Chains A and B, each alone.
Chain A
Amino acid sequence: MNQANTTVVAFRNFFQEVGQLTSFLVKFFKQVFVPPYEFDEFAKQSFIVGYKSLPLVGITGFIMGLVLTIQLRPTLVDFGAESWLPAMVALSIIREIGPVITALICAGKVGSGIGAEIASMKVTEQIDAMEVSGINPFKYIVVTRIVATTLMIPLLVIFSDFIALMGSFLAVNIKSDVSITLFITQVFDSLDFMDVIPSLIKALFFGFFIGLIGCYKGYTSSNGTEGVGASANSAVVVASLLVFIIDMIAAQITSLFT
């Protein structure tokens, strides 16, 4: 009986959460296109999300490119297809690893940051204070952050792909001798617009949901300072999970067109 009650409560909470998130999403779309636009805050958030995440994303991308190449090499050598290495690595990085790894890193770094920041604003009643002083807090805090993550994460993915390919080039050159021109030719020969464009669209969705979940968790935070930690934590968990779910859906949709 007790178990059944717990299940019912869990389901009720889940649907309540989904409902709240949907109304949060609707509120965002209602306000995003309506002036006044907070350009300064948007630029600041873009700087934090994009520029400040670049070193982390860059290092991760570089290592992923390097490691993937080193790991793939023995199998390809077994098949006598070593010359396919740049093409295979490029396809894996551009289609999958670049966007997903970047999104996961940003879910951890940016998602938790946004969640904790907004939650602490909420707890310390800064949001209420904004409302009193005539600033629309939702527009100032939430809209700017979601738009910033939506636009900056695809840009970070481009950087990550580029740096990962550089890492791969280095790894290819550890064992064999491939010129940069040949490497670029082999990489771009294997790529198509149907590899690049879906991956960037996917990254837009990753960015949007990382921002949305971070803001939502922060904005609906409660229980004082304890709630700040909980918001940051659940923002990362939910955003990371959503990254994988979106990735799965994106893979299904992309496979329909190819």
Chain B
Amino acid sequence: MKKETGNKMRLGIFISVGLIILIAGIYLIGSKQQLFSNTFRISGIFKDINGLQIGNNVRLSGINVGVIGNIEIIADTAVRVDMVIEEKVRKFIKKDSQANIGSDGLMGSKMLTIIPGTSGKKVIQDGDFIETTAPVSIDNILLNLEIASINAIDITDDLSAIMLNIRSGKGAIGKIFMDSTFAKTVDDAMVNVKEGAGGFKQNMDAASHNFLLRGFLKKKEREKKKAMGNRQ
């Protein structure tokens, strides 16, 4: 009889401890979903919620302060997202706060971030609508990437056509690089220029010894020396 009572007590302890663990677990999961804390609800209208789901986190300054309570499509371009947020952070969310949808890391789940707003404004009320900004969607990024890659293809096509022209010696640059007769002409021209410059130097030397110009040149030299003296 005594043994049976002992067994029943052990059974009672076993069941009680099991239920306490279960209740503690349920409480911890529930508290994460704000089931047991004092909360208030606000909403935001989005054009595209980008895969946000009920139960995703709502963050304010990087802290989890609530969850997405409900998502409802109200028009063909408008989705209403209700947020359940802890009452204790209400004072930090102002009327001009903004909500935007982001994701938790590259692979993480979606979440809603609230940007607090200006400090002088009134605090948001239960049931208020919050301003929203369009989320940066991966689709948009991909679309832009696609446009960029199409542009890159066009550019490389053009570049390749230009290179082809240069290689085949078409156009001014092609002539410079590829046309050997042009190079010879330039070479000849340079020889002529060199010869011309030599002749010109001789002419100038002769002119400097000419009595008609000697006075003028001396005057120039004096002015130059004077300018040097002033600078020192």
Contact = CB atoms under 8 A, between A and B. Distances in A.
B11 interface: yes
B11 A47 contact: yes
Interface of A: 43-44, 46-47, 50-51, 54, 155-156, 158-159, 162, 184, 188-189, 191-193, 196, 200
Nearest to A200: B22
Contacts of B127: none
Interface in B13-30: 14-15, 17-19, 21-22, 25-26, 28-30
27 contacts: A43-B8, A46-B11, A47-B8, A47-B10, A50-B11, A50-B14, A51-B7, A51-B10, A155-B14, A155-B18, A155-B19, A156-B18, A158-B21, A158-B22, A159-B17, A159-B18, A162-B21, A188-B28, A188-B32, A191-B25, A192-B29, A192-B33, A192-B55, A193-B26, A193-B30, A193-B33, A196-B26
Interface of B: 4, 7-8, 10-11, 14-15, 17-19, 21-22, 25-26, 28-30, 32-33, 55
A50 to B, nearest CB: 6
Nearest to A188: B28
Contacts of A200: 22
A196 B29 contact: yes
Contacts of A162: 21
Given A158-B22, A162-B21, A184 B28 contact: yes
Contacts of A184: 28
Interface of B is mostly: helix
A86 to B, nearest CB: 13
Interface of A is mostly: helix
Contacts of A51: 7, 10-11, 14
Nearest to B14: A51
A227 B215 CA distance: 143
Contact of B18 (A158, A191, A196): A158
A159 B22 CA distance: 9
A150 B88 CA distance: 43
A110 to B, nearest CB: 15
Nearest to B30: A193
- Of A43, A47, A200, chain B has the most CB atoms within 10 Å of the CB of A47
Contacts of A192: 29, 33, 55
A217 to B, nearest CB: 26
A188 B14 contact: no
B131 to A, nearest CB: 28
B25 A196 contact: yes
B29 A193 contact: yes
B21 A159 contact: yes
Give the 8 A-B residue pairs with the shortest CB-CB distance, closest first: A155-B18, A188-B28, A47-B11, A51-B14, A47-B7, A158-B18, A162-B21, A158-B22
Contacts of B32: 188-189
Contact of B14 (A44, A54, A193, A196): A54
Nearest to B108: A84
Contacts of B33: 192-193
A152 to B, nearest CB: 9
A247 B22 CA distance: 21
Contact of A191 (B4, B19, B29): B29
A162 B17 CA distance: 11
A43 B8 CA distance: 7
Nearest to B24: A162
Contact of A155 (B15, B29, B30): B15
B15 A188 contact: no
